Chain A
């Protein structure tokens, strides 16, 4: 498989009056074509900021402080807004959690999807309605002939999310970034949307980054998993291997909280999520870590290769 994306030492900070929020702090990873990468983390882990950075949507007070995002060899951090407009929606597209925020409530959904074509190819919107009907068919919206004229309020949450997916795949992008695409949906609808995304990636040969707080869900769909904690990547690896043998203590505890046992106390991670303005020194997980070593609060662990995985923890690599 060939390399699609290389993120190197990316730092995205928000400059607030209270201080500098280091939302993404020295993050590096790679992504091959055709992969589904699941990014897992709790609130404040920096996962959504990462998604925005990959789509060129970091706005003040946020700023990409340093690092590179190489997309097919092109450094995305250097692009102007004009250049981004040719890439966003065409080569890289996004799916967000709440379709209601992204769909215009007084404009038929089919026309909104057609606008994607209009923006990149020009011409009149009406020309593209047949293409939109094909897209609606592809995302399994029943009765596309009629549904392209439906307004958002006439659709269910699941159907609106299908509309957003159809927009995202309209120009056959190389990379689709989905930020919590099913968090607002019921489990049975979530299962259908996840299956749809998986099939679309298989059929189109596109690549997917799916971001969620729900590690169980990511293990279902992704072939690789990246775990983030307080702005840092703590572990990246094959999904099955991570599920079977998590290396980083945070990954291990996260999985344990999900492996419920009948009528036993729930396993919890002690402590709370740290502030990103004043993150803990050394390893950011050290105040909550049960396997802490004496130097964990002083020296930050460097990401290194262990058992075919990347892990940032002093327990590994001697």
Chain B
């Protein structure tokens, strides 16, 4: 998948009140996702990572820019079901993505029939059972309602439903953030198994640096609608170049537990500015400990340095 200068602005309120103001959720993102990779998208709330995830899943149409899937414009080919099925998304809160009045079987059979219309009820049941086994559940769960399942089990059902249409890309948006640590590991191990078994490409949206370290091949760090650093996980987390990546590592308790080198000069300060009125020049300038005059004027471009890309004038 290839994203070229993708932008998505959300208008603020009615025109008479908002006076043409916009939340610049995604503001010019170019990103390549390679087949079979585990890509992590990290950043804090409001940085646009979820909006970007939804654009990649074909759920939100960007205002400008292109999203190419295997060389074809994703939003022009969405009418074709088979393309839509190729990219599936799983979200943070299974309570809002699963219908509370549908049994697990109905939820899964709906998805199975969307992919393979005309299957008999028996074939659908077999398929549903197979999916449940893949995500570590059993036939006991087939005729339960979401309300009878634990948080981890619900999230597994959501993953099973996404797998029902045989996708190539899975967008996982904070899928374990609401789960307890001991449950979290089980769900993520299941995700890794599925990825290998079905040769899936995974775009994993998270705020947890520890999980990025454990799981991902590549990472893209977002701040206020833009990617500030992108590259192989070992390089970016062992030797971060962008000051925001450094701040993220210095703030993250899990980074210290896995033994990452943390530069105390970059400990967190200030609050992120509003994505309605981002600062001129570099967007991180208001919180950056090494910014100078230049940074207030010139907006840094994402430039290639070896295997990675960084958007900072100081690098």
Chain A residues within CB distance 8 Å of chain B: 42-43, 156, 158-159, 186-192, 195, 213-217, 219-220, 253-254, 257-269, 272-273
Contact = CB atoms under 8 A, between A and B. Distances in A.
Contacts of A214: 253
Contact of A266 (B185, B247, B271): B185
Nearest to A253: B182
A234 to B, nearest CB: 14
Contacts of A186: 44-45, 207, 272
Interface residues of B, number: 38
B207 A266 contact: no
Contacts of B247: 188
A43 B253 CA distance: 20
Contact of A260 (B44, B183, B211): B211
Given A219-B257, A254-B181, A268-B189, A192 B268 contact: yes
A261 B257 CA distance: 10
Nearest to A267: B185
B185 A268 contact: yes
B214 A266 contact: yes
B137 interface: no
A265 B253 CA distance: 20
Nearest to B188: A266
Nearest to A191: B251
Contacts of A156: 271
A37 to B, nearest CB: 17
B143 to A, nearest CB: 20
A262 B188 contact: no
5 contacts: A156-B271, A187-B44, A260-B210, A269-B182, A273-B182
Given A191-B251, A261-B214, A43 B180 contact: yes
Contacts of B214: 260-264, 266
Interface of B: 44-45, 150, 152, 180-186, 188-189, 192, 207, 209-211, 213-215, 233-234, 247-248, 250-254, 256-258, 267-269, 271-272
Nearest to A217: B253
A185 to B, nearest CB: 9
Nearest to B259: A259
A269 B185 contact: yes
A189 B268 contact: yes
A98 B181 CA distance: 21
A69 B132 CA distance: 48
A257 B150 contact: no
A254 B180 CA distance: 11
B268 A188 contact: yes
Contacts of B209: 187
Nearest to A45: B180
A189 B251 CA distance: 8
Contact of A190 (B184, B186, B251): B251
Given A214-B253, A265-B192, A269-B185, A192 B269 contact: yes
A268 B304 CA distance: 38
B251 A260 contact: no
A266 B189 contact: yes
Q: Among the interface residues A43, A191, A265, which one has the most CB atoms of the partner chain B within 10 A?
A: A191
Contact of A268 (B45, B182, B271): B182
Contact of B213 (A187, A257, A260): A260
A196 to B, nearest CB: 11
Contacts of B150: 272
B234 A272 contact: no
Contacts of A259: 257-258
Contact of A216 (B186, B213, B250, B257): B257
Contacts of B44: 186-189
Given A263-B215, A269-B185, 12 more contacts: A42-B180, A187-B44, A195-B267, A216-B210, A254-B182, A257-B185, A258-B210, A259-B257, A260-B211, A262-B213, A268-B189, A272-B150
Contact of A191 (B45, B189, B234, B267): B267
A253 B185 CA distance: 12
Contacts of B272: 186, 188
A257 B181 contact: yes
Nearest to B181: A257
Given A260-B213, A260-B258, A266-B214, A272 B269 contact: no
Nearest to A41: B180
B185 A187 contact: no
B245 to A, nearest CB: 11
A272 B183 contact: yes
